[in-house]
Amino acid sequence: MLICSENKEKESGGMARKTLQLGTALSVLALFSAPVSALPFAPIEPISFALGGTGVSSASNANAGFLNPALLAINERQESVALHAPVLGFRYFDRQNMLDSLTNYQDIGIQTAYDTELNNFKAGVYIDNDPVKSRQAIASAASGISGRFPNLANKPVQRESMAAVVVGIPHDKLNMTFSLSSKMMGGAVADIADSDLSELDRIVTEASDDTLSILETFDSTQFDSRFRGRGLSTTEFALSIARNYTVAGHKVAVGVTPKYILATSFDYAEDINTADFETNLGRKNNSAFDVDVGVAKSYGNGWSTGIAIKNLIGQKYETSLGNEIRIKPQARIGVSHAMQSVAVAVDMDLNKSESFGFDSQTQYLGIGAELNVFDLSTVRIGYRSNMSDTNTSVATVGFGIKVYGVQLDLAAGANDDELDLAAQLGFQF
């Protein structure tokens, strides 16, 4: 939920100070401009995601810990314990339906047929006792593989999921939330080797003109092509704390989220003919401590700004195959404006992030708007644009309803290659 305009902090020259603060926030761009391998800035949870992924200046207490903990000091103080459980999010990105193509390739059985015909030929077992027919069968199967392999290449798959519990803890001076979350971020791609395509073409040519030599053949166990998967599963314990400070006569909210992380990387390379996207292969366990920090400012006229830095310490995980998954700081700024029943927000990443899997970089610009209907329900729309790769930009939509202290929020987003879903249930005690 975006911050309500009823916040009555009165300060003259609010818009000028807002501009100054945004300029200061942008100055950190040079510090965080290098591409990094990183977690998504925020997990897919329904409130901020429905608003195009915005929330650094506008998140509610339910999701402030995921985006900017400083907002806990700006939002209305909770007088009772709030429980948000479960918080669920899922993202599935499959460029040009690669997994369907992989399944079709495996179901056709062309690679198995190639191995069978080739091994029979080597053993002197010919179709109808005719080596010419056996060579033709080998050529047909090899041609089938070399014709289908390119359709699998360079089409990454990505998956992201989250399940979390958030507890809002009332306190006289500090606003706090505790969260326990389980996340998975990863991807896979079919790595098709040029050497395999060259050898298959050679076999097709030589089998077709009856010059194929037994000593110069190779079956699929010798292929260099592999289906490669890589990613990270984490269990995170986080405590978000925020309070207001007076700086040069201006009230500024500062928040911090220390977190303990149990991380398990997965990294594997499997035979194209039997592989699938997996998270339980090539696993390696790690643990780490990190911290998120944020600053936010409300100007008392509906405008708010914020800046947050995630994973301030940064981590480096070595996978079972010797690859590295690096977690470096991520910075995002945001500005929002709330009126009586309508609010809008804009967020922008200040640095690019590499995919955990094998897809392109991300650097998001998000915009979202919500309509509050009689304080009972909320309609949200948004758009999240990837400034590094438009193929991962998505339109988002969401809906929330609150009755007798029970709140349900739903969200979805999609483009031609991606589907995102999120849901959250909240209770006030």
Q: Say yes or no: 240 and 359 in one domain.
A: yes
Closest by CA position to 87, among listed 58, 57, 66, 56: 66
Report if residue 5 sits inside a domain.
no
- Return the residue matching tokens 């100054």: 20
Domain count, the chain: 2
Q: Say yes or no: 31 and 87 in one domain.
A: yes
- DSSP single-letter state for residue 120: H
- Cβ proximity of 197 and 146 under 8 Å: yes
**Strands, E assignment, 30-81:** 36-37
Tokens of 31: 């510090």
Quote the pLDDT of residue 122. 86
Amino acid at 308: A
Q: Say yes or no: 75 and 209 in one domain.
A: no
Quote the pLDDT of residue 4. 44
Quote the pLDDT of residue 242. 94
Q: Say yes or no: 369 and 292 in one domain.
A: yes
Report if residue 27 sits inside a domain.
yes
**Burial of 150: CB neighbours in 10 Å, binned 0-12, 13-18, 19+:** exposed
Q: Say yes or no: 328 and 373 in one domain.
A: yes
Quote the pLDDT of residue 209. 80
Closest by CA position to 396, among listed 162, 137, 47, 148: 47
Taking the C-alpha atoms of residue 67 and residue 85, their distance in angstroms, rounded to an integer, is 18
Quote the pLDDT of residue 15. 39
Quote the pLDDT of residue 195. 94
Quote the pLDDT of residue 276. 95
Report if residue 347 sits inside a domain.
yes
* Count of other CB atoms within 10 angstroms of residue 420: 23
What are the b/e assignments for 395-415, b being 16+ CB within 10 Å?
Answer: ebbbbbebeeeebebbbbbeb
What DSSP element (H or E) covers 208? helix 194-208
What are the b/e assignments for 165-186, b being 16+ CB within 10 Å?
Answer: ebebbeeeeebbbebebebbbb
Q: Say yes or no: 87 and 142 in one domain.
A: no
Closest by CA position to 12, among listed 249, 245, 246, 243: 249
Last residue of a domain, one of 220, 235, 256: 220
Quote the pLDDT of residue 28. 34
Q: Say yes or no: 276 and 402 in one domain.
A: yes
Quote the pLDDT of residue 36. 35
Report if residue 129 sits inside a domain.
yes
- Return the residue matching tokens 């499997």: 270
pLDDT values of the chain reduced to their tens digit, one per residue, 429 residues: 454 443 434 343 443 334 334 433 333 333 333 333 446 788 899 999 999 999 999 999 889 999 999 999 998 776 678 999 999 999 999 988 999 999 999 999 999 999 999 999 888 899 999 988 998 999 999 999 999 999 999 888 999 999 999 999 877 778 899 999 999 999 999 999 999 999 999 889 888 887 777 656 788 999 999 999 999 999 999 999 999 999 888 899 999 999 999 999 999 999 999 999 999 999 999 999 999 999 999 998 999 999 999 999 999 999 999 999 988 899 999 999 999 899 999 999 999 887 666 767 789 999 999 999 988 899 999 999 998 876 788 999 999 999 988 999 999 999 999 999 999 999 988
Quote the pLDDT of residue 177. 95
Tokens of 154: 């360079």
Question: How far, in Å, are 122, 152, 196, 204 from residue 218 at the CA level?
Answer: 10, 21, 10, 12
Q: Say yes or no: 60 and 134 in one domain.
A: no
pTM, to two decimals = 0.85
- Cβ proximity of 185 and 127 under 8 Å: no
Q: Say yes or no: 65 and 187 in one domain.
A: yes
Amino acid at 240: S
**Strands, E assignment, 319-355:** 324-327, 330-338, 342-349, 353-354
Closest by CA position to 159, among listed 91, 70, 76, 68: 91
- Return the residue matching tokens 């915009």: 367
> ∠ at Cα 67 (166, 262), nearest 5°?
60
* Count of other CB atoms within 10 angstroms of residue 291: 15
| Radius of gyration for the chain, computed over Cα atoms and rounded to the nearest angstrom | 27
Give the domain range for residue 28.
Answer: 14-99+160-193+227-428
Q: Say yes or no: 27 and 108 in one domain.
A: no
Quote the pLDDT of residue 83. 95
Report if residue 8 sits inside a domain.
no
Taking the C-alpha atoms of residue 160 and residue 183, their distance in angstroms, rounded to an integer, is 7
Taking the C-alpha atoms of residue 397 and residue 399, their distance in angstroms, rounded to an integer, is 7
- Cβ proximity of 406 and 427 under 8 Å: yes
Amino acid at 103: T
> ∠ at Cα 345 (408, 333), nearest 5°?
115
What are the b/e assignments for 219-229, b being 16+ CB within 10 Å?
Answer: ebeebebbbbb
Find all residues with CB under 8 Å of 108, minimum gap 6, and list them.
144, 148
Report if residue 169 sits inside a domain.
yes
Report if residue 340 sits inside a domain.
yes
Taking the C-alpha atoms of residue 49 and residue 383, their distance in angstroms, rounded to an integer, is 9
Q: Say yes or no: 141 and 279 in one domain.
A: no
Helix (H, G, I), strand (E, B) or coil at 28: helix
Quote the pLDDT of residue 96. 84
Quote the pLDDT of residue 31. 33
Report if residue 282 sits inside a domain.
yes
Taking the C-alpha atoms of residue 419 and residue 330, their distance in angstroms, rounded to an integer, is 24
Q: Say yes or no: 391 and 415 in one domain.
A: yes
Q: What is the CATH number of the domain that holds 312?
A: 2.40.160.40
Quote the pLDDT of residue 402. 92
Tokens of 109: 């059985």
